[in-house]
Amino acid sequence: MKWWHVYLAVWAAAAVLGALLTWACRGLAPKLGLLDRPKANTHKLHGKATPVLGGLAMLVAWLLTIAAGLACSEAFGRLLVHEVAAFLPGIQTVTTQLVVIVLGAIALVTIGVIDDRQPMGAFPKFAAQFCIAGAVACWGVRVTFFWSQPILTWAITTFWILFIVNAINFLDNMDGLAAGIATIAAFFFAFCAAMRGQYFVAVLALTTCGTACGFLMFNRPPASIFMGDAGSHFLGYILAVIGALTTYYTPAESPTPAPVLIPVLILGIPIFDVAAVVLIRWHQGRPIYVGDHMHISHRFVRMGLSRAQAVLLVLLLVFAAGAGAVTLLWLPFAGTVLITLQTLAMLAIVSLLQFFHVNPDSTPEENTKHAEPDRAS
C-alpha cells in the first residue's frame, strides 16, 4: 500500500462513516429537540422543521476515522511498503498536537450544538470561540509566515481560526453550500500537503474532505438535515487548522515566497463573502452579527438563478480559486502575478454582477423581500 492508497482509503472510510452517522443523527435530532424551525429568525425562511445535528455526525465520523487510522498504523504498519512505514514512527511526535486539535474540534462543536438547541448571544459565542482558538494557537498550531515573535504569531493564528470559522458559518445559508466549499478546500489543502511530503496533514485534510462528502449525501438540495452552527464551526475550524499546518513555501522548491498566499486563495470566496457582507452591514448601520440575505449565494439567486444553481456557481468559483492557488507551489514571479491578477479579476467580475443587480444601500426589508428560503446568517 502506497501513500495514494492510504489517501483513498482514508477518504472512503470518512465518507462512509460521515454518511452513516449523518443518517443516524437525522433520526436522533428530533428526539433531542435539535430542529431548525421555519422562521425561527427573520432570515430563516425554509419550509419545514429540519434536523440540525449534522455537525455532531461529522465530528464523530472524523474522530472515528482518525482513531481507526491510528489503530491500523499500529497493528499493520509493518505490512506496509517502506515508502509508508518509514514515516509511521513520526506519529508519536505529533500526538500532543493532534490531541490539542481534537479537543478544539470537540469544544467548538459543543458550543455549536448548544447554540443550535438554544441560540446564544453573539458576545458569549464569540468569547467561547476566541478562548478555544487562542488555546489551539497556543498549544496546537501556529501560523508563522516569516515571523518568529510568539505573541504576534499567536495573534495571527487566533485571528485566522476565528475568521475562517465565522466565514464558513456565514456561508452555511443554502443546502450543500458550506459542506461543498469545505469538500473542495480540504481537497486542495490535501493536494498541497501531499506535494510537500506532509503525509499526516494530507491524511487529516482527506479525512475532513471525506467526512464532508458523506454529510453531503443528506445535505444536498433538498437537504434532509442541516449542519447547524456545530457543523460550520467544525468545518471552519478544521480548514483553518489544516491551512495553518501545511508548509507551502520551501526555498529549495518554490521560486518565490508566493505559496504562503495559497490558503488565503483556496478560501478566497468565503473570505471575500465575509468582507463584503460586513462592509454592507456596517454601511447600512446594522450589527455585523445579525443575519440577512446579502451573501454571495443570495445575490446569485436574486440575479435569477435557482438556489441549486447559485450553490453550484459558488462551488465552481471556489474550485477555480483553489486550482489557481495550488500552482503557486511552482510558479515563478511572473506566473504568480498572473494568478493573483486572475483571482482579483474573478472577484471583480462577481462583484460587478452582484452589485449591478442588487442595491447594497436598500433596506433590510427590501433585501429579504424576494430572497429565497434560507436558514442561516
CA distance 332 to 239: 27
CB atoms within 10 A of CB 108: 27
Task: Specify whether the CB–CB gap between 164 and 243 falls below 8 A.
Answer: yes
Structural domain boundaries enclosing 297:
3-369
Specify the pLDDT at position 376: 43
Residue 82 placed within a domain: yes
DSSP-derived letter for residue 377 is -
Task: Specify whether the CB–CB gap between 336 and 10 falls below 8 A.
Answer: no
Cell triple for residue 309? 444553481
Quick one: which of 347, 91, 124, 339 has its CA closest to 229? 124
Specify the pLDDT at position 375: 46
Cell triple for residue 45? 425562511
Task: Specify whether the CB–CB gap between 293 and 374 falls below 8 A.
Answer: yes
| Cα pseudo-dihedral 297, 303, 304, 308, rounded to 10 | -10
**Cross-strand pairs, 51:** 35
Residue 376 placed within a domain: no
Amino acid at 149: Q
Residue 278 placed within a domain: yes
Specify the pLDDT at position 368: 40
Exposure b/e, 232-241, CB count within 10 A at least 16 = b: bbbbbbbbbb
Give me the sign of the Cα torsion angle 228, 365, 290, 117. Answer: negative
Specify the pLDDT at position 3: 87
Specify the pLDDT at position 192: 96
Residue 150 placed within a domain: yes
Residue 374 placed within a domain: no
**Total domains, the chain:** 1
CA distance 218 to 227: 10
DSSP letter string, 112-165: HHHHHHSPPPHHHHHHHHHHHHHHHHHHT----TT---HHHHHHHHHHHHHHHH
Specify the pLDDT at position 373: 38
Ordered per-residue pLDDT tens for the chain, 377 residues? 588 889 999 999 999 999 999 999 999 999 998 998 775 554 454 457 899 999 999 999 999 999 999 998 888 777 777 778 888 888 888 899 999 999 999 999 999 999 998 888 889 999 999 999 999 999 989 888 777 788 999 999 999 999 999 999 999 989 999 999 999 999 999 999 999 989 999 999 999 999 999 999 999 999 999 999 999 999 999 999 999 999 898 888 888 899 999 999 999 999 999 988 888 888 777 877 776 677 888 888 888 889 999 999 999 999 999 999 999 999 999 999 999 999 999 999 888 877 765 444 444 344 443 333 344 44
Cell triple for residue 274? 465575509
> CA gyration radius for the chain?
20
Q: Which helix (H) or strand (E) holds 57?
A: helix 54-76
Residue 377 placed within a domain: no
